[in-house]
Amino acid sequence: MTRAWRMAALAALIVVLVIALTPYVWLFMTSIKSRLDALADTPVWLFTPTFEHYPKVFLDKGYLPMVFNSLVVAGTVTVLSLAVGVPGAYVFARHRFPGKEDLFFFFLTTRMAPPISVVVPMFLLFSYVGLVDTRTSVILAHSTFNLSLVVWMMRGFFEDIPREIDEAAQMDGHTKAGMFFRVLLPIAAPGIAATAVLCFILSWNEFLYALILVAFESRTLTVGIPGLVTPHGTLWGQVAAVAIVATLPIIVFTFLVQKHLVRGLTFGAVKG
Amino acid sequence: MTVAFRKVSKVFADGTLALDGLDLEFEAGEFVVLLGPSGSGKTTACRLLAGLEQASAGRIEVDGQDITDLPPRERKMSMVFQNYALYAHKSVYDNIAYPLKVRRWPRAEIESKVKEVAGLLDIERLLKRRPRQLSGGEAQRVAVARALVWQPDICLMDEPLSNLDAILRLQTRTELKRLHEELGTTFVFVTHDQEEAMTLGTRIAVLKDGRLVQFDTAHEIYHRPASRFVAEFIGRPAMNTIDGGIVDGIFRAGDVALPTPGRDPGPVVLGIRPEHIVLHDSPREDTLDFRLDVPEIVEPDMLLFAACGEVALVVRAKADRPELRRGDALHLEFPADRLCFFDPDTGARRP
Amino acid sequence: MSVRKRVDRLLDKGVGPLFLAPSVLLLVVLLLGPFIYMVVLSFTDLSYALPGRDGNFLGFDNYRRLMRDDPVFWESFRTTLTFVFGVVSTEFVLGFALASLLFHQIQRRRFVLTLLLIPMMLAPVTVGLMWKLMLQGEFGMLTHYLRAAGLLDPQTALLGDHRLVLWIVMLVDVWEWTPFVTLVILAGLLSLPREPFEAAIMDGARPWQVFRDMTVPLLRPILALVALLRGIDAFKEFDKVFILTGGGPGNATELLSIYTWRINFRNWDLGYGATSAFMVYLVVLILCAVFYKAIYWRAGGGQG
């Protein structure tokens, strides 16, 4: 690679990074701009920051419970999906049985189901059993796609563990279940952690299910956003503040989990 | 055509000094072997010649032209890789044809040339197969066919036989020799196997720690090794080397005392090949007594591992004395004209 | 057999069904249930807006209406197809280019890549919000600079122009998902063995020939995977378009999911809405089967 090429490549990379990050930076700046600065005709890049929007929208407007809702929902979905999905993934990784790949395909389709198609009947069914506008409804809805993510991702991680470990554990006297809990799980812990983070992110970011299944009490943070964007005018400082808070865990988690992202997002097809 | 390395050095990004001022020159038609232990720089030298790596210092010349900065495709050299590096997604035919396709040869000519080379390497029946359907030996032939199909000036081979089993390795060795004689292409062959080097090479370049130690015919290397390292590296078993000193015309090392008339006094390393030590039935004036440690019968010879005090050596003799047992006395003669002397510090051989 | 022994037996031989049953059960209840109900609904006239429409059986009337009497649905289908093909092909080309760039960039690659991933890790709603902010008609940052550069006239707001708005929405999607394509293709490039490429160079191939004859064929399974994954996800797109344009102006950006949402949760025409939902499901299911064939074949069935 000659020097000229290297310079050009570096320039291209910088341009790409600027394009990728500017919108987010701009959103953050909007969340700490005064109303005047945010709505100025000419975009303002240098200004005195103000944090007034954050307490206004979270405390005065009562958006803080939404943060809590998002946390509870995402956390519960993650725990539930892992508890149910990880043992299932183990079975796919180690056992042979008729119809195994067909069952696996079924798990795939659950991940692919269009949310709009699922939420319509789900909304009606949940309202019949009185589950609408509860966190539980959203938790159940999110589990539909997270469960298969867990199964798909963890199957790959379990398959990476050599079978000899299983066999050694069984020679040591464990039952299969005991071996799973005492030997395999600790070894698969990094994979479980990565899967958990991905689960959390997907649930935290989810919008459509939360929008339909919840009316007021159990609103998650993402649903709070359109509420502030009205045809009569949008409080940009506040809505930006909400959005930024919604992105905080994501930014942190992205850095933590980027090593396993490829595997998770391609359903284990690519190891990355 | 003359190929020359002129003071070529290569330092890798992590600081490893792979080649240290290599000076090497050879002519067209030779079968040059780059021989050395791992880390000696032989593969690096090969890859520098190919153009796959850039030299940190020095020049590589072909017929006086500096080709150091020339990209591989302009160097008229081809390469056979240790793992064959076949194109998994192409058929064997397409693999071999690729160099010609890249050079825009007409289809008919490609076909006839590929068939010709396939015939030369006895792989015509494999042309429709895919690389994953080939055995190691077959894959290796395809790799060689691909390297020869466009008649390069030089064919580089980076340990091509290392992944083959022993029998296949010997067979292929002979085939390569035959190919060289038939085609007359210049071959540069990298290996760590000294037996391979000795059989194949017209001249062998022995490398150690990035430096050229000796560049000579097999015969010279064997009988007149330039250094202790060469002596101990070549031959199976290697030359015996004994550290000691000459005082008053007698070489002494431990309990061993050997007359060495006409040699300068001082510390020295004595060397003699196992097959040059003569085993006598009874002690003579010119024999030394060694005690047999382990006899190894390798028909039609036997290797006798013997020691005299702290001095240990190996003797290669005819396997006509099966009664020898551990602890027996051996009466060994060390013919003066077979002795080599090496400098204890530099390892260089003294004339 | 003692109780203790029975439990042990269960924990050993019964592990298969024991560990797998909960997930299968959960999914069947949560997905198969609604799926069946959706199909049932699609044959009724259920509506929360009109009186008397409490779920009477209609036969295939809803389907006939969808096929023949609903140009808006088909308009939406066309819009969605344009969207899907447009974004997938663009993300493909850009993603491949970026992946190649990053492949040769050895220093701090991980760090650059992580930053690059932010667009796709943010909630799609947030992505929609960010771009809505920048493209706002009066004070939007991008609107201002485009007008200053003479590319946009002062009367037009990009999100309000029915000729341009679909392209804008597609642009936002490209911004959001190109990093994903880049990530996967980069992983693929890094997994390719180095030696055959050196062999190609020694055989005399120029860089573009190496790309055409080696890189692309060897990456084909991964490229197919990415194209299909993005295709399916693009088909399901809802969140950011909802926030950016709500489907408008008019129907200009009313993708299938938004159309279905409108029928169900604005018009509350739930029976017909279920029909629409089922059609969307069907298309995705078919794409899904193609996808699975592609990756399962690639993995060589080496599972378990």
- pLDDT the model gives residue C304: 28
φ, ψ of residue B23 to 5 degrees: the values are: -120, 115
- pLDDT the model gives residue C300: 45
Spatial distance between the Cα atoms of C248 and C242, rounded to a whole number of angstroms: 9
Q: Which domain holds residue A35?
A: 1-50
Q: What is the pLDDT along chain A (272 residues), one digit of tens a residue?
A: 577 888 888 899 999 999 999 999 999 999 988 888 888 878 888 888 888 888 888 888 888 888 999 999 999 999 999 999 999 999 998 888 888 888 888 887 787 889 999 898 898 888 888 887 788 999 999 998 899 889 988 988 898 888 888 888 888 888 888 888 888 889 888 889 888 988 999 999 999 999 999 888 888 889 888 888 877 778 888 889 999 999 988 888 888 777 777 777 776 667 66
CB contact under 8 A, C203 and B102: yes
Q: Quick one: A32 and A1 in the same domain?
A: yes
Q: Quick one: A6 and A116 in the same domain?
A: no
Query: pLDDT tens for residues C124-155?
Result: 999 999 999 998 888 888 888 888 888 877 77
CB contact under 8 A, C201 and B73: yes
* Structural domain contains residue A116: yes
What is residue B323's three-state secondary structure? coil
Q: How many residues does chain B have?
A: 351
Q: Quick one: A178 and A210 in the same domain?
A: yes
Which residue ranges form the domains of chain B, and what is each CATH number? 2-233 (3.40.50.300), 240-350 (2.40.50.140)
The ipTM assigned to this model is 0.87
Q: Quick one: A69 and A14 in the same domain?
A: no
Nearest-5° angle of CA A191, CA A196, CA A197? 100
- Neighbours, chain C (3 or more CB pairs < 8 A): A, B
Q: Quick one: A79 and A17 in the same domain?
A: no
How does strand B329-333 pair with strand B278-280?
A: antiparallel
CB contact under 8 A, B52 and C202: yes
Spatial distance between the Cα atoms of B245 and B270, rounded to a whole number of angstroms: 9
Which of C15, C40, C243 is most worth mutating to test chain A (most A CB atoms within 10 A of its CB)? C15
Over chain B (351 residues), the average pLDDT of each successive run of 10 is 91 89 92 92 93 91 90 92 92 94 92 92 91 91 93 93 89 90 92 92 92 92 90 89 87 85 86 90 85 88 88 88 85 88 85 77
What is residue C52's three-state secondary structure? coil
Q: Quick one: A18 and A131 in the same domain?
A: no
Nearest-5° angle of CA B262, CA B290, CA B296? 120
Q: What are residue B308's DSSP bridge partners?
A: B311
Q: Token digits for B142?
A: 């395809």
Which of C202, C214, C220, C223 is most worth mutating to test chain B (most B CB atoms within 10 A of its CB)? C202
What CA dihedral angle connects C206, C212, C213 and C218, to 10 degrees? 130
CATH 1.10.3720.10 fits C58-193+219-298, yes or no: yes
Give residue C164's pLDDT band: very low, low, confident or very high (50, 70, 90).
confident
CB contact under 8 A, C205 and B73: yes
Give residue C296's pLDDT band: very low, low, confident or very high (50, 70, 90).
low
Q: Quick one: A36 and A88 in the same domain?
A: no
Q: Which residues of C136-166 are buried (b: 16+ CB within 10 A; e: fewer)?
A: beebbbbbbebeeeeebeeeebbbebeebbb
pTM of the model: 0.84
B99 touches chain C (CB under 8 A): yes
- pLDDT the model gives residue C301: 39
Spatial distance between the Cα atoms of A58 and A65, rounded to a whole number of angstroms: 8
Q: What are residue B313's DSSP bridge partners?
A: B306
Which residues of chain A does C260 touch, with a Cβ-Cβ cutoff of 8 Å?
116-117, 120
CB contact under 8 A, C203 and B85: no
Q: Quick one: A22 and A66 in the same domain?
A: no
Closest residue of chain C to A23, computed from CA coordinates:
C130
Instruction: Please name the residue that has the structure tokens 């002397």.
Output: B341
Residue B303: its H or E element? strand B301-308
If one counts the domains in chain A, the total is: 2
C206 touches chain B (CB under 8 A): yes
* Structural domain contains residue A196: yes
* Closest residue to B79, CB basis, from C202, C213, C214: C202
Using only C-alpha atoms, what is the Rg of chain A?
23
C-alpha distances out from residue B266 to B248, B249, B338, B341, C154, Å:
9, 10, 20, 12, 99
Q: Quick one: A12 and A132 in the same domain?
A: no
* Structural domain contains residue A57: no
Q: How far apart are the first and last CA of chain B?
A: 33
Residue B311: its H or E element? strand B311-318
Q: Token digits for A151?
A: 């199964």
Closest residue of chain C to B80, computed from CA coordinates:
C199
Nearest-5° angle of CA A78, CA A80, CA A85? 95
Average pLDDT of chain C is: 86
Closest residue of chain C to A174, computed from CA coordinates:
C12
Which residues of chain C does A117 touch, with a Cβ-Cβ cutoff of 8 Å?
38, 260, 277-278, 280-281, 284
Q: Quick one: A22 and A143 in the same domain?
A: no
Q: Quick one: which of B10, B5, B37 has its CA closest to B22? A: B5
Secondary-structure breakdown of chain B: helix, strand, coil percentages, each rounded to the nearest 5: 30, 35, 35
DSSP B328-344: -EEEEE--GGG-EEE-T
C-alpha distances out from residue B81 to B78, B86, B272, Å:
10, 9, 37
DSSP B116-177: HHHHHTT-GGGTTS-GGGS-HHHHHHHHHHHHHTT--SEEEEESTTTTS-HHHHHHHHHHHH
CB contact under 8 A, B146 and C203: yes
Half-sphere exposure of A158 (CA within 13 A, CB side): 26
* Structural domain contains residue A182: yes
* Structural domain contains residue A188: yes
Q: Token digits for B44?
A: 């690096």
* Higher-pLDDT residue of A29, C248: A29
Task: Let me know: does B99 contact B144? Beta carbons within 8 Å.
Answer: no
A265 touches chain C (CB under 8 A): yes
DSSP state, residue C97: H
* Structural domain contains residue A55: no
Task: Let me know: does C238 contact C255? Beta carbons within 8 Å.
Answer: yes
Spatial distance between the Cα atoms of C137 and C51, rounded to a whole number of angstroms: 41
